[in-house]
């Protein structure tokens, strides 16, 4: 990261938009309010007072409470884990849905919670068999791959699962043998991407846990190849608040199990990747969406869990500071309409449970720098994904088999460092002005110079649409009005 002087760069925000002017004025009708403003995007008029008092919840409804493992457990308890545990038949969604139940087992050591987790895994196995009978395979790659190894880890540590438990062994091998991450015939995808990494991680653990299986050598080899694909640049191609969480959650949940050490969290060259999760957090604890995304504050709950894990592994309190900002803003978004409730949206339950499991209260939160800065990321390009000669040249160790070893999402990381985001920050205090400006040209949103987010008091002055292609909002527009400019294409003919 590179820090810059705030006062010299706020004006750049103005240069990223289009100024529209005219020599005639038009009378505009007054807006008609047809409903209350959504609480997900605060009306900035709320903060029109001369003397803001952030301790007054009627003025500033976002909690500013201390966050620790006990706070995460309050949120887990608000999700009624007893009710979750009563229904283990959750199909392929079981590992995600039951994470609050696993957290309760870790908290209490009570066998009833472990028994519920075992029943859920049995039901998960049955659902896999049914899907294979109907469709020949299944595709669910993220949650099972990331989370089931954690069930094994914590149940074993709690004395509720043997290392060679036959039911677990059969379930995990069945998962690895029938997983087709693209819901199509090819398997063993390459590259550090959001589908290839879960597949490689799962099969690598299977080879590690069960060295007597017929696939052991192939799965070890494949798993090592994909990890090396990622490790060459220590970065991911996704540039968004959606897909990017796919490869990152695998690394966060299982980087230590995959490699046998903590290099995934602690290597100096990977800090660039993990810092990205913290510096993009706004002063009020929100995430401005960019690229393919789920809307306002999308995947903030992922960051809570991941930043707690990083803080625990690196002892860097800046990660905890950002995680706690995010958690309090998520509380503000509570579906109970009580901004100080600990009840989260049910979709966040598994990630808050992960935050509880990962958090280390001995790490003191430390406020990150107040300075504005810009970040870097590795250039990602699109290439043909089934060309074996190209795979051999770019990644090495191409798989000669027809339906194996394709390049996931056609993404290839060139190794070149490019600017990523310009982050303009007045500070970390409630209500401080914040801007997130896109700088990267080659991966979505492909909007260099575009303002991804501009906030004060958590109110959005700009926001972009979710897009898998070029997203041109809020940036300087250059138009060839005389149709005289010559179009230039990239000289590398391999690029898609």
Does residue 34 register a pLDDT over 80? no
What's residue 21's pLDDT?
38
What's residue 432's pLDDT?
94
What's residue 59's pLDDT?
83
Does residue 112 register a pLDDT over 60? yes
Does residue 28 register a pLDDT over 90? no
Give me the percent of the chain exceeding a pLDDT of 90: 76
What's residue 45's pLDDT?
57
Q: What number is the average pLDDT over the span 209-223?
A: 99
Does residue 337 register a pLDDT over 60? yes
Does residue 29 register a pLDDT over 60? yes
Q: CA-to-CA distance for 206 and 173, rounded, in angstroms?
A: 7
Sheet holding 372-382, edge to edge: 2-4, 372-382, 411-425, 434-438, 451-456, 459-463
The CA dihedral of 276, 253, 299, 240, to the nearest 10 degrees, is: 50
Does residue 54 register a pLDDT over 70? yes
pLDDT confidence band for 221 (50 / 70 / 90): very high
Does residue 22 register a pLDDT over 50? no
Q: Compare 17 and 162 and report the one with higher pLDDT.
A: 162
pLDDT confidence band for 44 (50 / 70 / 90): low
Q: CA-to-CA distance for 53 and 44, rounded, in angstroms?
A: 15
What's residue 117's pLDDT?
99
What's residue 49's pLDDT?
54
Does residue 16 register a pLDDT over 80? no
Q: What number is the average pLDDT over the span 446-465?
A: 89
Q: CA-to-CA distance for 257 and 301, rounded, in angstroms?
A: 23
Give me the percent of the chain exceeding a pLDDT of 70: 90
Find out whether the peptide bond into 357 is cis, omega within 30 degrees of 0: no
Determine the distance from the C-alpha atom of residue 75 to the mean position of all C-alpha atoms in its chain, rounded to a whole number. 20
Q: CA-to-CA distance for 377 and 415, rounded, in angstroms?
A: 9
141 by Cβ neighbours in 10 Å (0-12 / 13-18 / 19+) ranks as buried
Does residue 326 register a pLDDT over 70? yes
Structure confidence by residue, pLDDT tens digits, 275-291 = 999 999 999 999 999 99
Instruction: Give how far Cα 351 sits from Cα of 147, 250, 328, Å.
Output: 10, 13, 14
Does residue 470 register a pLDDT over 90? no
Which domains, ranges and CATH numbers included, belong to the chain? 69-358 (1.50.10.10)
| Residue 290 Rama label (left phi>0; alpha psi -120 to 50; beta) | beta
What's residue 138's pLDDT?
98
Q: Compare 40 and 322 and report the one with higher pLDDT.
A: 322
What's residue 27's pLDDT?
53
Instruction: Give how far Cα 338 sits from Cα of 61, 333, 346, 465, Å.
Output: 9, 8, 16, 28
Q: CA-to-CA distance for 64 and 332, rounded, in angstroms?
A: 10
pLDDT confidence band for 448 (50 / 70 / 90): confident
Q: What number is the average pLDDT over the span 92-109?
A: 99
pLDDT confidence band for 46 (50 / 70 / 90): low
């Amino acid at each position: 990261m590179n820090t810059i002087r705030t006062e010299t760069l706020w004006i750049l925000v103005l240069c990223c938009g289009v100024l529209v002017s005219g020599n005639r004025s038009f009378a505009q009708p007054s807006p008609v309010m047809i409903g209350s403003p959504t609480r997900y995007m605060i009306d900035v008029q709320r903060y029109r007072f001369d003397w803001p008092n952030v301790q007054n919840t009627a003025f500033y409804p976002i909690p500013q409470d201390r966050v620790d493992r006990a706070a995460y457990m309050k949120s887990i308890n608000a999700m009624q884990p007893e009710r979750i545990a009563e229904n283990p038949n959750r199909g392929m969604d079981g590992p995600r849905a039951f994470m609050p139940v696993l957290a309760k087992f870790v908290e209490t050591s009570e066998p009833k919670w472990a028994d519920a987790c075992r029943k859920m895994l049995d039901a998960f196995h049955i659902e896999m068999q049914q899907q294979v009978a109907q469709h020949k395979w299944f595709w669910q790659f993220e949650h099972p791959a990331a989370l089931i190894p954690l069930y094994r880890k914590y149940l074993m540590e709690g004395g509720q699962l043997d290392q060679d438990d036959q039911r677990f062994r059969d379930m995990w091998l069945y998962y690895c043998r029938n997983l087709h991450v693209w819901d199509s015939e090819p398997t063993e995808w390459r590259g550090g991407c959001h589908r290839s990494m879960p597949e490689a991680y799962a099969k690598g653990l299977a080879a590690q846990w069960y060295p007597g299986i017929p696939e052991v050598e192939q799965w070890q080899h494949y798993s090592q190849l994909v990890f090396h694909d990622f490790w060459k640049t220590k970065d991911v191609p996704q540039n968004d608040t959606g897909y990017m969480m796919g490869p990152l959650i695998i690394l966060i949940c299982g980087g230590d199990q995959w490699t046998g050490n903590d290099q995934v969290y602690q290597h100096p060259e990977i800090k660039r990747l993990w810092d990205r999760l913290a510096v993009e957090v706004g002063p009020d604890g929100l995430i401005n969406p960019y690229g393919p995304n789920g809307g306002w504050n999308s995947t903030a709950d992922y960051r809570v869990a991941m930043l707690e894990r990083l803080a625990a592994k690196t002892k860097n309190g800046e990660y905890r500071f950002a995680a706690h900002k995010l958690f309090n803003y998520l509380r503000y978004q509570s579906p109970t309409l009580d901004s100080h409730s600990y009840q989260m949206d049910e979709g966040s339950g598994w990630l808050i449970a992960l935050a509880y499991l990962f958090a280390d209260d001995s790490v003191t939160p430390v406020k990150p720098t107040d300075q504005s800065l810009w970040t870097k990321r590795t250039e990602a390009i699109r290439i043909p994904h089934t060309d074996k000669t190209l795979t051999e040249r770019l990644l090495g160790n191409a798989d000669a088999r027809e339906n194996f070893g394709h390049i996931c999402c056609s993404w290839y990381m060139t190794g070149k460092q490019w600017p990523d985001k310009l982050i303009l920050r007045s500070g970390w205090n409630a209500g401080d002005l914040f801007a997130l400006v896109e700088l990267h040209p080659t991966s979505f949103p492909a909007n260099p110079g575009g303002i991804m987010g501009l906030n004060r008091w958590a109110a959005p002055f700009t926001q972009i649409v979710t897009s898998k292609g070029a997203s041109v909002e809020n940036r300087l527009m250059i138009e060839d009005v005389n149709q005289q400019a010559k179009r230039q294409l990239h000289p590398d003919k391999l690029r898609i």
